[in-house]
Structure 1
Amino acid sequence: MTEMPSHLPAAQRPGRAAASNQAGRFEPYVRVPVDDGWGRHEPLPPLQAEVADERPRRMIATNNSPDIPFDRSLNPYRGCEHGCIYCFARPTHAYLGLSAGLDFETRLIAKPTAPIVLARELAQRGYVPKVLAVGTATDPYQPIERDRRIMRGLIEVLGEHRHPFTITTKGTLIERDIDLLAPLAKLGLVNVGLSLTTLDAAVSRAMEPRAPTPERRLLTLQRLSACGIPVRVQVSPVVPALTDHELEVIMSAAREAGAHAASMIVLRLPREVSPLFRQWVVERFPDRATRILNRVRDLHGGRDYDPEWNTRMTGQGTWAQLLAARFELARKRLGFLPLPPLQTDLFTVPKPPDCQLSLF
């Protein structure tokens, strides 16, 4: 038998960024396609997304990373159909026995009981409210949210408790929930980080194939801002030699659309993301692949990725310093300011209808 190429034919993966589906790092076996010698190669059907349900015991995840501005987060889904090739959360699929490649984009996990579990956690005796970051790993407004409505249920719970939270997304479906978010924004309980990596629709389609177009995301930003919801444009990741030249243009377009603040993160390629990105950039941008990959290594001390605190998301070296200087100049010129801190002193624990009333 003859070993076949490890990547899937393009016809089998339309609208997908990853080109392969290598086994996760915890798996004892590696899947290798082979030619069985029969001479018949019937084309396989295009990959379709599959959704399985998970019933979590807890929703709030905590971290003590010194370079992350929050210590707790939650995500209503595992995997993400947006399929962004650069997504740092891809390696988390290995914990499920799945691939960080095409599995991450097509084998999705939903948490339908998430609102119930979250309500139970917030009602625990001694719970101390701090800002809760929603959508830090996978997008809470990816396409399956339209039918599942798990994110909307989470917002309802957080609103009932008057709990502060942030949302990170590139999904325009967030507009559906403006009716819940706008009143909470008036109370200082929510802000939104909208990810915008490029204004080039062709680059966006290749890099984040099932995410809304840049133009459409700008419209969402405008609508959120018009309803009084503070929005931060997240220029992340900045891909060297591919999107870095757009930094100021993206910030300017976002400011014009109503963004209040801006942030930036350079491309990082942890674990399985590195070979996936390498394969992708050679396939999609062969004319500049070598330059992009060399610049990535320059950013991370000669490696595809350096996980050191405080430099992993900014990069290091001359190019990283120049990029940071450009961002700061644009931020000041455009009048971006930090978003106001969210309120934690409004938090309440709703009591069951038959519970005895409090004296105070």
Structure 2
Amino acid sequence: MEKKAIIAIPMGDPAGIGPEITVKALAQKEVFEAGKPIVIGQADILEKAIEVTNVDVVLNRISNIQEASFEFGTIDILDLDNVDTKSWTYGEVQKQCGQAAYEYIQKAVEFAMDGSADVIATTPINKESLRAADVPHIGHTEMLASMTGTKDPLTMFEVRNLRIFFLTRHVSVKEAIDQMTKERVRDYLMRCDKALKRLGIENRSIAVAGLNPHSGENGLFGMEEVDEIRPGIEQAKAEGIEAAGPVPADSVFHQALHGKYDAVLSLYHDQGHIAAKMTDFERTISVTNDLPFLRTSVDHGTAFDIAGQGIASSVSMEECIKLAAKYAPHFTADNS
């Protein structure tokens, strides 16, 4: 029988929907049975989440992972007790919540780095709360990079049968185009192929999305494909990567969804985000590669406007945990 992965789940910003979607997800038997979850957060806030969502679970407060029961109907929680609940409130930017969310992630990383946990599945954090707490990172990816000494983590989205990597992330479109050099395209195709291999995918094929309409029509609508993108693809192919493109962006994601390619390399943030979220918004899951461990994440925010009402959907969190469990057996050092 295959060993189940231990999944560390930092509960996110205490003022947001993270605690609610966590308890809702772990109240689903198929989700709980996918792996062995442990939540890192604050017990009384998680108790409040259980109350507002009306789910049938109880908490098991633990001081280390060895004390976890991993029994359905029970949520094992490592209580950091780092929020003053007398001054805490739902749906607002709060310094203490930004600091607490950061500390939950730190503890999850500690567990992953020392082997106590196999993977991390993260819930939403709030950039303004982090800033209020003087946390020197804008989001999860930057935190994880700093905490693990990773230079440039590689982001992948997965939704249904579609996997999307990103050549550029949080930069303007103009700056993204400046970064679309043949060297970067080649480097990222090599990294994407390595990431897919590490996730257990054999005979990998990767398509590169085009930038301009019809991928530029050989220079009629722009020279980026001719000067940089296609030469980068050819360099990667010369080194044994099965790469295709540039394939027009209005068709490549559809083709990959239906099995023509194992993944698509999106050239900029919104190009890939739109394709994934139009396929299935709630089931789009972010996977962070090139870390010493696997990390999956929901791809939505803290939803302060509905926090504390018990109405937040847990579908994305459920998929996040299941995807972590799915890839965990493949994500080993000897497969890197």
TM-score interval, smaller chain: under 0.3
| Higher strand proportion (structure 1 or 2) | 2
TM-score with structure 1 setting the length: 0.24
TM-score with structure 2 setting the length: 0.25
